[in-house]
Amino acid sequence: MPFYAYIVRCRDGSLYTGWTDDPERRVRVHNEGRGGRYTRSHLPVTLVYLEEHASKNAAMSRERAIKKMSRGQKNLLIEAKTRTGVP
């Protein structure tokens, strides 16, 4: 079963990073106000970056690494993925 690290862009332009085993469900849960505490007050969110990993630990590790990045680094990550046609 694959796991994913992801970034969503909130209504105010801020970015939220997390991990999941079902990206579509997770974005839906965020938009229903039942996701992360931060996103509840920044709805709606849009998936802008998705990265697949073979294990939960790998996805969680990548989430932590992305959270440590500056906003500029995160935007570069998102832009690089967008240029390839993948969110």
Q: What is the pLDDT along the chain (87 residues), one digit of tens a residue?
A: 899 999 999 999 999 999 999 999 999 999 999 988 999 999 999 999 999 999 999 999 999 999 999 999 999 999 997 766 655
Q: In which domain, by residue range, is 37 found? A: 3-83
Into how many domains does the chain fold?
A: 1
Q: What is the CATH number of the domain that holds 48?
A: 3.40.1440.10
10 Å CB burial of residue 75 (0-12, 13-18, 19+) is middle
Closest by CA to 27, choosing from 38, 13, 37, 39, is: 39
Q: Taken in order 51, 55, 21, 63, is the CA torsion positive or negative?
A: negative
- pTM of the prediction? 0.91
The pLDDT of residue 82 is 72
Tokens standing for 57?
């630990």
The pLDDT of residue 87 is 55
CA distances from 30 to 42, 57, 67 (A): 10, 22, 18
